[in-house]
Amino acid sequence: MENSESITTPSPLALAGRSAWWALPTAVAGVVALLAMNADEYAIYIATSWLAFGLVALGLDLVWGKGGDLSLGHTVFFGLGAYVYGIAGSNLGPLLGSTALIGLLSGAAIGALAAAGVAYFLFYGRLGALQTTIITYTLVLIMYTVAVGWTFELGEARVGGANGMTTVPMLTLGFGPDAAPASTAGAFYFALAVALLIFLGVKALLRRPFGLVISGVRQNLLKTELLGYDVRRYRLVLFTISGAIAGIGGALYGAWALYVSPNVFSVAQALLIPIYVLVGGRGTLWGAFVGAVFVGGLSFWLGGGVVGGQTALVLGGGLIALVLLAPRGLLGMLRRRRQRSAQAGSVPADRAELGGVDALFDRQSTGAVVLETQDLQKRFGGVTATDHVSMQFHDRGIHCLIGPNGAGKSTFLGTCLGLLKPDGGQVLFEGAEITGWAPYRRVQAGLGIKLQVARILEELSVRENLWLAAYSRHEDPDTASERVRRTLSVIGLTHRAHEPGGALSHGEQQWLDLGMVLCLEPKLIFLDEPAAGMTGQERQHTVALLKRISRFAGVVVVEHDMDFIRDLDAPVTVLHQGAVFASGTIDELRQDERVLDIYLGRQSDA
Ligand X SMILES: Nc1ncnc2c1ncn2[C@@H]1O[C@H](COP(=O)(O)OP(=O)(O)OP(=O)(O)O)[C@@H](O)[C@H]1O
Interaction site with ligand X (CB under 6 A) = 380, 383, 385, 403, 405-411
Give min distance, CB of 577 to ligand X, in A: 8
Give min distance, CB of 23 to ligand X, in A: 52
Choice between 308 and 382, CB closer to ligand X: 382
Q: Count CA atoms within 13 Å of residue 192 on its CB side.
A: 24
Choice between 409 and 463, CB closer to ligand X: 409
Choice between 58 and 389, CB closer to ligand X: 389
How many whole angstroms separate alpha carbon 183 and alpha carbon 186?
5
Choice between 339 and 405, CB closer to ligand X: 405
How many whole angstroms separate alpha carbon 39 and alpha carbon 57?
25
Helix crossing, 506-519 with 462-474: angle to 10°? 20
CA-to-CA separations, 145 to 117, 272, 293, 360, 487, in angstroms, rounded: 19, 19, 29, 59, 56
Give min distance, CB of 407 to ligand X, in A: 4
Sequence-ordered list of residues with C-beta below 8 angstroms from that of 308, at least 6 positions apart, any chain:
none
Give min distance, CB of 560 to ligand X, in A: 7
* CB of 86 closer than 8 Å to CB of 157: yes
Phi, psi of 257 (to 5 degrees): -80, -25
Give min distance, CB of 391 to ligand X, in A: 15
Give min distance, CB of 415 to ligand X, in A: 10
Choice between 260 and 407, CB closer to ligand X: 407
How many whole angstroms separate alpha carbon 459 and alpha carbon 205?
19
How many whole angstroms separate alpha carbon 209 and alpha carbon 475?
9
| Single-letter amino acid code for the residue at 530 | P
Choice between 464 and 559, CB closer to ligand X: 559
DSSP secondary structure letter of residue 356: G
Choice between 65 and 414, CB closer to ligand X: 414
Phi, psi of 582 (to 5 degrees): -160, 160
Choice between 175 and 380, CB closer to ligand X: 380
Task: Report H helices in 97-159.
Answer: 99-119, 129-149
3-state DSSP assignment of residue 426: strand
How many whole angstroms separate alpha carbon 215 and alpha carbon 212?
5
Give min distance, CB of 530 to ligand X, in A: 14
Phi, psi of 334 (to 5 degrees): -80, -25
